[in-house]
Structure 1
């Protein structure tokens, strides 16, 4: 604890409500008790506070003369300065803890938030003897769970992986087609069981070494092991080098979109043998071949620096700094965006969340949806299809959207918003609810709902709605990491989760096959076995429409059996500073940092 924190502790205990600077009576024992230390250590602390000019300590001399302490510094400016200093060092969590502990009844927290907003956005940072650096700084509200492509599951993690690593091929959303990445050319045989990729010259890792077929073979051999994303290697029998710049994939069965599989962030190419590093150390600060190299990755800050040797062209930005701030300050920070902000929360215009009319607004309907998944591997009311149908009828998506609003804009009946928009939504029908509940024989058992804190508003609405029909539910909230815990999942009856289909049909397959995905954990083996067979059929289909029909068949069955309860599609609202250029929201709902630049006034 710093001297200033100790000062604030004593100030709060002895000076609160009294005129500043007025000496107050305090015994050494009382001071020691407040500081949770011995009287001897309390004397040392008081001496230091005196040396720093924060207090005057007037010890009592003689019988009946009590000691007194005078607080020389005002609490508010001192607390503000301390909180700012901690934030500048990346200790945002500690800043907010102090503000909550000592800032009650003061204007310090609003002042701190105003200052903090000014720290985000675009900055020109001076460099001694060189041109200033163009740096983009912005906040997020959780650290990445992993930067290991083979384990990536969440959109933010996948976005960072895309910045740091590169893939053999990439999907260009604007062109709607697969384009070269580390591989400049690729072919497949007629039945799509053999794929050959030719690597470009000059695709170098951040350490300057050129990517070769050895790196590709290492990457996909590892991916095929015991990793959550091994589903990408379904049907792959061998990966073999043909010289230093050609790789052949041999498959046991057709996969006509195998090249699209390799567009996934999980297919990012790693240096062979982790570049000579231990695996754990490597992923602490991984080396990739993407447009940015990772300089720092901690619980409070992430820093990226431009990869000057990137084969796709050097990024316009010199660096990106991402501050990981407590979720409690999300609303306050988004109320004053400094350069950009994507509203992924329940904000509305009344919150003051909208910048002025000079800012450019980008709106994107999120590809994917929010849904409820039932744990069909656990005993409980959810084993009854009639009960699941009753809950689906009760949780009428249009009512949820009308009552909660926010980013929820379209009632869902499918993973895809375009499919939901084309499907008519039925009106709420109490008679059908009563009939389904009667058929289910619901016995009053309590449903255990487990979800991330992000979905608290949705979950509370669900609890209220179910209670209106006599269905008891109990909600438990957890962080992102806890959501993957097998023991927690085993105790869960249902959960609410969001899915982003960043790679279109490939991500739809991922929903069913990813090792850490809630759907894979909750569906019973009979359904999963049937789904795997249908996916094999989809991958063998010669046309996109043929694949779409098979994947729609899977979705239709799970919807009709109410194994999934589709809720809504979200809209992302992003506001951009007038000077910001080169911005597009990608399929993950983020901006690709590589093409961002700032137009400076003449």
Structure 2
């Protein structure tokens, strides 16, 4: 420990021990007690104290006479010491070391302050070298990015990064409500929507320097078809053949009519891979950024000079990942700009997210929640109005649908504890402990804990269990959970998002449904795919949602908001449906202009 710790880390450790003591306050302590706090030898403790005194960080007055305690007087608060430490480490690009040190040695209060200072010290930065501007963004996000493989992505933060590294054949524009060209510039149906032909752009380069051809498209979709645990697999399984007509013409043969097929393959999970792709290799896409560095705690993206569309204006994006920082509000899109000395005004962007937080009851496991009365008891118990009022945070409105615009026009239901008690009495519940599973992201734990506490009021026993994203494709939750707390954030293509939820065998809904419910859904989706009319398709999706509510399959809770703070010299801010920014469009206006 002595050899690897910096002097300022010892000072931080010492100030953390006395974090509630004020500057210039006399603290009675012995040098042996300090050695114990610092986990170092008496000799090294004396050396450190002398060094700190020389730097005017503290005063040390030795006790006179045997048995008299010495006096320790700090000149800097914990926050002041932590600021010096964070500034030094960020300058040296050692954010991971700050995170590891703070989580290993500091108190809860100290840890919280370190994360606050880290977020302030990161953000957009400009460097000038040889009269040339280099701009970069530094971010700390409160979760681990477990994969950059489009096929295996589960989290919206991962999907956001995929869109910066890869491209799909086509993209959906929510403002125009139509598909736009991307890697393909034209596409046409044949045989009433059973065949789809796409014309590819020429001279599109992968980050490796190789040019895109139909061979890469065929490889990507054959790989998807051979990956049944992928979320998108259920939506593309009707691909019978991927036919290469030439280097830049590709044709998909489907088993049945599907006019929605081009929208399906606009999904980030259909991002095009190089035909020599191996998941163990560094990602190799055609997107605006390439992955320069990547490990468990850090991702560095750099602008791709040969991007087939406009080159990104920002040069580099540094992202540190840390699941412990979930105690800080979600900062995936946080752009604090204190790193730039500027007098520009602060801007706060609030965005209601599409989708909702909801409970789904597990109908594929023999468990107490198969009892209709117990489900009604839980539905009345978990009152969204009370939850929002008591917990607040980013919970902004009651949900009665995945879509906020539907919820707004819905009647508020009258849930009550008394009804919950009555339904519980009428059920066959006999004291079993119900297993509630939840994603330990953002406010998931807080919401699950609140549900557990509510259940205690009526004599229901609930155990809460965090889920890892890796557990979903392995169907590990199905056999253990009685009910699950999920949050579904919809993409800009709400039709595609809802289709995925209802059809994918690895979504947050379908794996927990009984056969008769799946049969109803599939009949509606068959009509959905054959229709070219947006309104008809939309009504099919709403019918499925209503059916799930009427059959007590799920219970909607609330809609959330995402907040982004930034300063006015950060330009080109555009927000996707997740409330996150498109890195390639932002730029930093220097103060000297």
TM-score with structure 2 setting the length: 0.82
Contact kept in structure 2, 1:171 and 1:179, CA below 8 Å: yes
SS at 2:280 equivalent: helix
Deviation readout 1:284-305 (Å, 9 max, x if unpaired): x201001111111222221111
SS at 1:215 equivalent: helix
Contact kept in structure 2, 1:113 and 1:333, CA below 8 Å: no
Q: CA deviation at 1:72?
A: 14
1:516 and 1:2 map into 2 onto residues whose CA distance is: 49
Q: RMSD between aligned alpha carbons?
A: 4.0
Unpaired stretches in structure 1, ≥5 consecutive residues? 37-41, 56-64, 341-355
1:335 and 1:234 map into 2 onto residues whose CA distance is: 35
The answer to whether structure 1 residue 369 and structure 2 residue 356 are counterparts is: yes
2:434 and 2:448 map into 1 onto residues whose CA distance is: 12
Deviation readout 1:196-243 (Å, 9 max, x if unpaired): 000012321112222110100000000111241312313110111110
Instruction: Find 1:94's aligned residue among 94, 100, 124.
Output: 100
Per the alignment, residue 301 of structure 2 pairs with 304
Q: CA deviation at 1:135?
A: 1.0
2:83 and 2:459 map into 1 onto residues whose CA distance is: 50
SS at 1:556 equivalent: helix
Per the alignment, residue 405 of structure 1 pairs with 392
Instruction: Find 2:291's aligned residue among 282, 291, 294.
Output: 294
Per the alignment, residue 58 of structure 1 pairs with none
Structure 2 CA distance for partners of 1:26 and 1:450, relative to 1, 3 Å: same
Q: CA deviation at 1:391?
A: 1.6
Instruction: Find 1:464's aligned residue among 432, 448, 453.
Output: 453
Per the alignment, residue 534 of structure 2 pairs with 544
Per the alignment, residue 242 of structure 1 pairs with 245
Per the alignment, residue 60 of structure 2 pairs with none
What does 1:56-455 align with in structure 2 at a 5 Å threshold? Answer: 88-91=93-96, 92-98=98-104, 100=106, 110=113, 112=114, 115-127=117-129, 129=130, 131-189=132-190, 191-226=192-227, 227-228=229-230, 229-274=232-277, 279-282=278-281, 285-325=282-322, 326-327=324-325, 330-331=328-329, 338-339=336-337, 358-429=345-416, 432-453=419-440, 454-455=443-444
Per the alignment, residue 5 of structure 1 pairs with 5
Contact kept in structure 2, 1:412 and 1:569, CA below 8 Å: yes
Unpaired stretches in structure 2, ≥5 consecutive residues? 54-65
1:406 and 1:102 map into 2 onto residues whose CA distance is: 21
220-229 or 86-95, which deviates more: 86-95
Contact kept in structure 1, 2:334 and 2:565, CA below 8 Å: no
SS at 1:242 equivalent: strand
SS at 2:179 equivalent: strand
Q: CA deviation at 1:357?
A: 11
The answer to whether structure 1 residue 495 and structure 2 residue 492 are counterparts is: no
Per the alignment, residue 61 of structure 1 pairs with none
2:545 and 2:460 map into 1 onto residues whose CA distance is: 27
1:508 and 1:102 map into 2 onto residues whose CA distance is: 40
Contact kept in structure 2, 1:375 and 1:492, CA below 8 Å: yes
Contact kept in structure 2, 1:387 and 1:440, CA below 8 Å: yes
1:561 and 1:286 map into 2 onto residues whose CA distance is: 43
Structure 2 CA distance for partners of 1:589 and 1:190, relative to 1, 3 Å: farther
2:304 and 2:468 map into 1 onto residues whose CA distance is: 33
Structure 2 CA distance for partners of 1:332 and 1:525, relative to 1, 3 Å: closer
Per the alignment, residue 62 of structure 2 pairs with none
1:34 and 1:318 map into 2 onto residues whose CA distance is: 41
Contact kept in structure 2, 1:170 and 1:178, CA below 8 Å: yes
1:24 and 1:504 map into 2 onto residues whose CA distance is: 65
The answer to whether structure 1 residue 597 and structure 2 residue 591 are counterparts is: no
SS at 2:247 equivalent: coil
287-296 or 360-369, which deviates more: 360-369
2:195 and 2:466 map into 1 onto residues whose CA distance is: 46
2:566 and 2:10 map into 1 onto residues whose CA distance is: 42
Structure 2 CA distance for partners of 1:578 and 1:83, relative to 1, 3 Å: closer
Contact kept in structure 2, 1:361 and 1:573, CA below 8 Å: yes
2:393 and 2:52 map into 1 onto residues whose CA distance is: 47
Q: CA deviation at 1:246?
A: 0.4
Deviation readout 1:233-256 (Å, 9 max, x if unpaired): 131101111100000001011111
Contact kept in structure 2, 1:187 and 1:196, CA below 8 Å: yes
1:371 and 1:481 map into 2 onto residues whose CA distance is: 20
Contact kept in structure 1, 2:354 and 2:577, CA below 8 Å: yes
SS at 2:285 equivalent: coil
Structure 2 CA distance for partners of 1:466 and 1:513, relative to 1, 3 Å: same
1:253 and 1:139 map into 2 onto residues whose CA distance is: 46
529-538 or 179-188, which deviates more: 529-538
505-514 or 243-252, which deviates more: 505-514
Q: CA deviation at 1:364?
A: 2.2
1:578 and 1:6 map into 2 onto residues whose CA distance is: 37
Contact kept in structure 1, 2:150 and 2:269, CA below 8 Å: yes
1:190 and 1:370 map into 2 onto residues whose CA distance is: 41
Deviation readout 1:252-292 (Å, 9 max, x if unpaired): 11111111111110010011121xxxx2332xx20100111
Structure 2 CA distance for partners of 1:19 and 1:339, relative to 1, 3 Å: closer
SS at 2:396 equivalent: strand
Per the alignment, residue 350 of structure 1 pairs with none
Contact kept in structure 2, 1:236 and 1:249, CA below 8 Å: yes
